[in-house]
Amino acid sequence: MAPATGQKRKSDASSSAAAKKARAQKDEETAQLVERILSDTENFHMPEDTDAARDYITQLARYARGLEDTIAASKPKEKSPQEVAAAAEKLRNAAASGIKKQMTWKTTCKTGSAKWMYDGVCSDPAVFGAMLGLDGPPKFKTKKMTVTEFQDAMGYITASVRYDDLSISGATVNVHWKPDEGTFKLSGTYGK
């Protein structure tokens, strides 16, 4: 039913805000209770009344469950194998495109010693491992992959120049993985 003319609807925001404030205050009181208990584990006050003791313990249990729920909500959801494969393919395509854009003609291309370097971001170790064709998350921070291993994982990356094609050369590709930052760096050489 619509409100009569000139009347305003009551806002639900004030009641939910009050409930959140009360819950935050209750959590703060429980946190202080935990602090008092932990500061003097031998002599903290325990109610003698059974119902009061039950409330005391229930309050602590609810607080612990709330903390568990907060921690569980902050952890990223684990991806299915299909989601990992799709994310790895997307990351692989982005890296290959970034490497290919750097492959331009330089005089060092004649000797296969022109350098390329790709910086990327991947916060999920499983996706990074899948991109490189590993069996799981990487167990290294720095690794040298042979060019053949790298091409098996990333595909054969080439760039056309006026009268020739450039491709990854050299014996190895350097892989630097920083799991705490969620970043990686790939580097190597290219040429004719």
Q: Tell me the domain boundaries of the chain.
A: 15-74, 81-191
Whole-prediction pTM: 0.56
The per-residue pLDDT for 122 is 84
The per-residue pLDDT for 126 is 85
**44: how many CB neighbours lie within 10 A of its CB?**
11
- DSSP β-bridge partners for residue 178: 183
The per-residue pLDDT for 76 is 64
The label of the residue with tokens 């920083």 reads 178
| Residue 142, phi-psi category: left (phi > 0), alpha (psi -120 to 50), beta (remainder) | beta
Give the chain's residues under pLDDT 50: none
The per-residue pLDDT for 40 is 73
- In this structure, are residues 170 and 112 in contact, taking their beta carbons and an 8 Å threshold? yes
**159: how many CB neighbours lie within 10 A of its CB?**
17
The per-residue pLDDT for 185 is 92
